[in-house]
Structure 1
Amino acid sequence: MSTTPAITHDLGRTQSRRKMKIRLALLLFSPALLFTTGIFEPGSWQREALEGVGVLLVFLAILGRAWSTLYIGGRKIDHLVTAGPYSVTRNPLYLFSFVAVLGLGLQTGSITIALGLLVAYAIFWPVVLREEATLHKIHGVLFEIYRNSVPRFAPRRSLWKDAHQLEIDPRRLRQTVLDGLIMLALIPLIRGIGWLQASTPNLPVLALF
């Protein structure tokens, strides 16, 4: 289905705003990580267990986002993608981003902070709704059928269907992989904050479970 330049521009603007909000959220919440930490000391088995689970979640998110990009990369506007991960959830890229945020939050050694970051990530809810409204303008009744049968986030495995073949957009896949590398780079940064807190006794830090 062909699209008008105005609708295409609207979707592009919505996605640009999403990226700006991600950068703004990181900027706003970074100082908070310096003054909050988990109740478990760095190096304790409890802390290492939480960090280990978090690392696994980040890797899962990176693989999931790359997998989703193979299906959606470069086709979101002119084609309604309903195969692969998009057959079980309408927003797999967002879903795996939630997983990444949870995994990064666990690097603080605090379940509370991890869940807090996940709740903060909900600022993207209006962006999701605007994207869906734009996709409805583009695809009409086809999107209505898709929206009514496939959950917005929670995957429904019974709906799984795959594509016979994929046309991959290398540029978008590279960008997704680069975003994943940035996620990995945040892991030692967040852990470094924890060691800085532990080695600075006079730093006012709130310990959370």
Structure 2
Amino acid sequence: MRRLVLAVMVVAMFAALLFGQSSFPPDTTVHEVVEMLGILMIFLGVVGRLWCTLYIGGRKSDEVVTGGPYSMTRNPLYVFSTLAAAGVGAQMGSIVATIGFALLCAGAFHVVIRREERYLASEFGAEYQNYLARVPRFWPNPSLYREGDTGSFRPKLLLNTLLDGLVFLVALPVFELIDHAQITGALPVLFRLP
């Protein structure tokens, strides 16, 4: 379900932005700074997702994982995916696209999170209810951080997470190609975003 939601979001965002352009021209400082911050957000998102997998990988159906990134937020994989999605939006050089991608991603994950919480509450009972009471659903609270056991390491799960995260990196060359196609007139620009 998570992969399907992510794939649908990526396709929808890509289709919408195929014909949009930043209101900041490509060679301006603002455009370049937004793109560079986006690259940083993408890499932090991918690395963060890998960090989460080191803790949750292979254990998420067996126990309530409460250490590492899961001590600060109940859904760190979704937080880091949202950060990476914002980075994808930033590749357009637009602040509005950056925020829009993040909000769209967080909104889609909200639906998935609610469903997962119902399942986990029924599966783990009081243990999960205690976790719900002390750890925020989405926005991380770094003051809650505590190291935890990573359990057994499963390289295949880490590889799958890395491959999922690399989808975000595809935005880098794709948006450069879109910029080029728009500048040369091969793609029409139907709207501009600040």
TM-score (norm 2): 0.93
Q: Which one of the candidate residues 62, 76, 92 is aligned to 2:46?
A: 62
The answer as to 2:28 corresponding to 1:44 is yes
Question: Alpha-carbon deviations, 1:172-209, whole Å to 9, x = none?
Answer: 10011112222112211022212211111882431110
- List gaps (5 residues or longer) in structure 2: none
Give 1:120-139 correspondences, 5 Å limit. 120-121=104-105, 122-139=107-124
Deviation of 1:83 (Å):
0.5
What letter is aligned with 2:164? Answer: D
Deviation of 1:64 (Å):
0.5
Q: Which one of the candidate residues 98, 101, 106 is aligned to 1:117?
A: 101
Provide the aligned length of Structure 1 versus Structure 2. Answer: 193
CA change 1:165–1:126 in 2 (3 A) is: closer
Q: Secondary structure at the match of 1:82?
A: coil
Deviation of 1:139 (Å):
0.7
Deviating more after overlay: 17-26 vs 64-73: 17-26
| C-alpha distance in 1 between matches for 2:3 and 2:115 | 14
CA change 1:204–1:61 in 2 (3 A) is: closer
C-alpha contact (below 8 Å) 1:75/1:81 kept by paired residues = yes
Deviation of 1:166 (Å):
3.5
Deviation of 1:27 (Å):
2.3
Structure 1 runs of 4+ aligned residues shifted over 6 Å read: none
TM-score (norm 1): 0.87
Larger Rg: 1
| C-alpha distance in 2 between matches for 1:21 and 1:165 | 27
Deviating more after overlay: 104-113 vs 182-191: 182-191
Give 1:69-80 correspondences, 5 Å limit. 69-80=53-64
What letter is aligned with 2:79? Answer: L
C-alpha contact (below 8 Å) 1:51/1:107 kept by paired residues = yes
| C-alpha distance in 1 between matches for 2:186 and 2:115 | 46
Q: Which one of the candidate residues 85, 91, 109 is aligned to 1:101?
A: 85
Deviation of 1:165 (Å):
5.3
Q: Name 1:83's counterpart in structure 2.
A: 67
Q: Name 1:33's counterpart in structure 2.
A: 17
| C-alpha distance in 1 between matches for 2:117 and 2:133 | 12
| C-alpha distance in 2 between matches for 1:165 and 1:26 | 30
Deviation of 1:29 (Å):
2.7
Q: Which one of the candidate residues 176, 179, 195 is aligned to 2:161?
A: 176
- List gaps (5 residues or longer) in structure 1: 1-16
Aligned alpha-carbon RMSD (Å) = 1.6
CA change 1:39–1:163 in 2 (3 A) is: same
